Amino acid sequence: MSAEHWAEGVDQLLAEIGPVTGASRVWVFQLMEVQSNAVVQDYVFEWAPSEHYRQLNQNRFRFFSSTLEDPVYRRLVEERQAGVSHDFCIPLMPQGPLRSDLENQAIQSTATVPLFFNGHWWGTLGIDDCERPVSWRGPGLDLLEAVGQLIAAALYRDQLNHRSRQIELFHTLANCGVWEISLCNGRLWCSQSLKTLLGYPEAYSRVSLRRMLARLHPEDRAELWARLRALWRIAESTQFRLDGRLRLANRSWIWHELIGEIQCNEVGQPVVVAGLVLDISRRKQDEEQALAASQLDALTGALNRRGMAQHLETIGPATAPRHLILLDIDHFKQVNDTHGHLVGDTLLRMMVERLRHELRPGDGLVRLGGEEFAVLTSGMQDDQALALAERLRRCIADEPFVVQMSEDEPPLKVMMSVSLGVAGQGDEASQATNQLMAQADQALYAAKHAGRNCVLFYHEAIESRAVSLDSE
């Protein structure tokens, strides 16, 4: 059958054997249900040389029920269930309900072949002659049985194609692919959706395991081998999951989840590793966004303390020397008491924007809490860090902040200043972050006691404290 859909192929088959046999009708009944006292069938295919012989469109043959009270018909059904073909010349049949029913259809002779699918009686292929009381035994019945086998094979192929389409549709909708590795010979099988994802043409016969593993990021590939070796050692565990980066057809690295299971033979030896590849790029993006949000101050958008720790890990000791600048807004409580906390919050956001304009992309701006902030820098000398702190002081103190809280009210101009303390980590990068923070805090404390709105380096703060002690 060359038709694209199996039903079209069945129609073609019936149309070919009808004229060859000279029959009045060739038909197919599909079995719906075998009940204790009846058989329910549906008339699903038919070929007839003229409308005179057609019965497919008659309502009495739509999901019709045939009683099993007639012992002749009951035996006929039992034999069909057993795979027996039949040939009837109606005038030679004994009187009874079955003969009467066939005569009512003006049938002179008929032959039937049961159709089997998945080991069960699926339906019946039949041929009727309304003009000749002939026997179909021999070539006629042999032809009908051959056609029955073709129809059954078409049903199997359609089922396989249907399941294949369902699987590929699932793979497409779920953004996943299926893979299987034979541990006996190392051969890899992967679904069409996975091959397409990796950029292989549809007709590509086989993707090698070596090429597939080369698509996995080296770090994730090492982790995969570690997981598999661990499974080999722990016999009771056979499944694993791994988030890994796959290089796709467009050469980009995309996050996927590898879900695998080791399958063993009857004696417990691993023979196959099989599983799924799921696109989790959106999930990873959400996780990264959630992580980034957890490291930011909700009010100002500056880093919070968690973000500060992550920033320190990012710049690392290899980029030493690095500096920490602590800054505190002078008399900010008075601003809140005078203008309200809504204005105070707006001023904090505006101040962060000003500070950012003075910083490099790799510098870290942190809100430690309240009106206290920190700036983390790397790759600067002490004089450069001091110059940066002075620019930060001026960008706050030199120009008023203009706050427009309502269209009905005139804009509010607020002058602010900050005090800053600077501490530096030398080239040896041996200072702990806590020590650097303590030194910057001492410098900030000294700057506030020196009159505020100024910058002091830690060493200057120590000298200033020493002078103060001497004077006492």
The model's pLDDT over 75-88, given as tens digits with 9 standing for 90+, comes to 999 999 999 999 99
What pLDDT does 212 receive? 86
pLDDT class of 427 with cuts at 50, 70, 90? low
Closest to 258 (Cα-Cα) out of 247, 274, 243: 243
Question: Residues 268, 274, 275, CA angle at the centre, nearest 5°?
Answer: 135
Q: How would residue 468 be classed by pLDDT, with cut points 50, 70 and 90? A: very low
pLDDT of residue 375: 96
Percent of the chain having pLDDT more than 70? Answer: 89
CA dist 121 and 242 (Å) reads 46
> Would you state the pLDDT for residue 108?
96
Helix (H, G, I), strand (E, B) or coil at 80: helix
Selection from 261, 259, 225 nearest residue 243 by Cα? 259
pTM above 0.75, yes or no: no
Asked if 376 contacts 311 with a C-beta cutoff of 8 angstroms, the reply is yes
Beta bridge partners of 24: none
> Which residue is listed with tokens 């930060």?
392
Residues 6+ apart with CB under 8 A from 259: 239, 240, 241, 275, 276, 277, 278
Predicted confidence at residue 371, as pLDDT, reads 95
Average pLDDT over the chain, rounded to an integer: 86
pLDDT higher than 70, residue 300: yes
Q: What is the pLDDT of residues 108-161, one digit of tens each?
A: 999 999 999 888 899 999 999 999 999 999 988 999 999 998 888 888 777 766
Residue pair 220/245 in contact by the 8 Å Cβ criterion = yes
Instruction: Give the mean pLDDT of 47-57.
Output: 93
Residue 374 CB: number of other CB atoms within 10 A? Answer: 22
| Token pair of 189 as six digits | 């099988």
User: Between 265 and 401, whose confidence is greater?
Assistant: 401
pLDDT at 46 over 50: yes
Q: Which active-site residues does the annotation give?
A: 371
Model confidence at 55: pLDDT above 70: yes
Specify the DSSP element, H or E, that contains 74: helix 71-81
Q: Answer yes or no: are the C-beta atoms of 359 and 365 closer than 8 Å.
A: yes
pLDDT band at 3 (very low <50, low <70, confident <90, very high): very low
- Encode pLDDT of 175-197 as tens digits: 678 888 888 888 888 887 788 87
Question: Each residue of 221-243: pLDDT tens digit?
Answer: 999 888 888 877 765 567 888 99
Q: Which of 66-70, 204-208, 405-409, 423-427 has the highest mean pLDDT?
A: 66-70
The whole-number pLDDT of residue 162 equals: 64
Tokens for 152, please give them: 């059954």
Residue 471 reports pLDDT greater than 50: no
Using a CB cutoff of 8 Å and minimum separation of 24, what contacts does 241-245 make? 243/280, 243/284, 244/216, 244/217, 244/220, 245/216, 245/217, 245/220
Residue 383's identity, in one-letter code, is D
Residue 318 has pLDDT above 60, yes or no: no
Q: What is the spatial distance between Cα 43 and Cα 56, in angstroms, rounded to a whole number?
A: 6
Largest CA distance in the chain: 138
Look at residue 461 in the predicted model and tell me its pLDDT: 65
Q: Which domains does the chain have, with CATH numbers?
A: 6-160 (3.30.450.40), 175-281 (3.30.450.20), 295-471 (3.30.70.270)
Tens-digit pLDDT profile for residues 363-416: 999 999 999 999 999 889 999 999 999 999 999 999 999 998 888 888 999 999
Of residues 183 and 349, more confidently modeled: 349
pLDDT of 466:
44
Mean pLDDT of 13-42: 93
